[in-house]
Amino acid sequence: MLQVGTVAPDFTLPDQDGQPHTLSDYHGQKVVLYFYPKDNTSGCTKQACAFRDLYPQFREAGAVILGVSKDTVASHKKFQQNHGLPFTLLSDPQFQVIKAYDVYKESVGKTGKINGGLWRSTYLIDENGMIVRAHGKVKAAENPAQMLQEVR
């Protein structure tokens, strides 16, 4: 995880519609940047739907939500449509942003094979682009409410 008090690395990634989003374009707003392993899986769906349900309160508090995973733009589009997600999902199949935010971890499996994966993690970035909260290994269903409290 990146440390609280550091500048959030800037990036540009395509959203669920293929449109590029650059983090620095959100200066002046709070950003909840959450990383999740895979579209349409149980935990990821719980987390996304909880963010969806709290979305009006996040907007009222002046925050935007950006979800990031390695899934494709097309996969993100289906995930958004299946669950009525009103926020932006960003596609990072090359793991560039995932690695820049230090949420990609490798482990050795029982057979000795090296497995890599994305740790469910969330950052709160302030209006000036500084990381003010960093949470690793978050609980999918609880994380959105926790982040709303921190945004407020």
Which residues have a catalytic role annotated?
44
- Asked whether the beta carbons of 45 and 75 are under 8 A apart, the reply is no
- What is the C-alpha to C-alpha distance for residues 34 and 45, in angstroms, rounded to an integer? 13
Question: Cβ contacts of residue 124 below 8 Å, gap of 6+?
Answer: 30, 31, 32, 33, 131, 132, 133, 134, 147, 150, 151
- What is the C-alpha to C-alpha distance for residues 145 and 127, in angstroms, rounded to an integer? 20
> What is the tally of helices (H) and strands (E) in the chain?
4, 9
Identify which of 35, 28, 30 has the alpha carbon closest to the alpha carbon of residue 13: 35
